[in-house]
Amino acid sequence: MSIAHAVATAVLFTWLGMVAAISFIEAPLKFRAPGVSLQIGLGIGRLVFRALNTVEALLAAVVLIAVGADPPSPVAIVAVAVVVVTLAAQLLVVRTQLARRSDAVLVAPAGPGAPAGAQRRSRAHYTYVGLELVKVVALVVAGAALLGA
């Protein structure tokens, strides 16, 4: 295994762990903690996901540089492309929709006067989660393909 492939593999599996821990463990659990209102949970979520997405963009750049330095198998290249395109879709399209919705919830009164449907997840939220699942599968495939290279 080349150094470039080793770096890309390590970065991909680190990225996978971050996404799994934050998107599928931390995010849903914070709303179950005592005293965490929807507004507080959304505020925390925005900060956490802004940080995660910033780190993801940096990790994507490292992976692209490593893959560009020593191109791996076509399977690995396609999987890396899926990861990067999925992240771009999340950042450029879905997060902007989620930000608009969370802005509306954060400035609205809580409780009985809250906007209709504020307690339900939006379609954009389900799209983001679906893209996270696609990204997780692609990260596993890319990392596994690089391990076999």
The predicted structure's pLDDT at residue 149? 67
Q: Which domain holds residue 101?
A: 3-147
17: tokens are: 């762990």
Cβ proximity of 88 and 65 under 8 Å: no
The predicted structure's pLDDT at residue 112? 53
Q: Name the residue with tokens 């990204």.
A: 135
CA distance 61 to 69: 12
Return per-residue pLDDT of the chain as tens, 149 residues: 899 999 999 999 999 999 999 999 998 888 888 998 888 888 888 899 999 999 999 999 999 999 999 999 999 999 999 999 999 999 999 998 888 887 877 776 655 555 544 556 678 889 999 999 999 999 999 999 999 86
> What does DSSP assign to residue 33?
S
CA distance 149 to 146: 5
Give how many domains the chain has, as a whole number: 1
| 110-116: long-range pairs with CB below 8 Å, 24+ | 110/37, 110/38, 110/39, 114/38
Using one digit for the tens of pLDDT, what is the confidence trace for 86-125?
999 999 999 988 888 878 777 766 555 555 445 566 788 8
CA distance 13 to 21: 12
The predicted structure's pLDDT at residue 12? 98
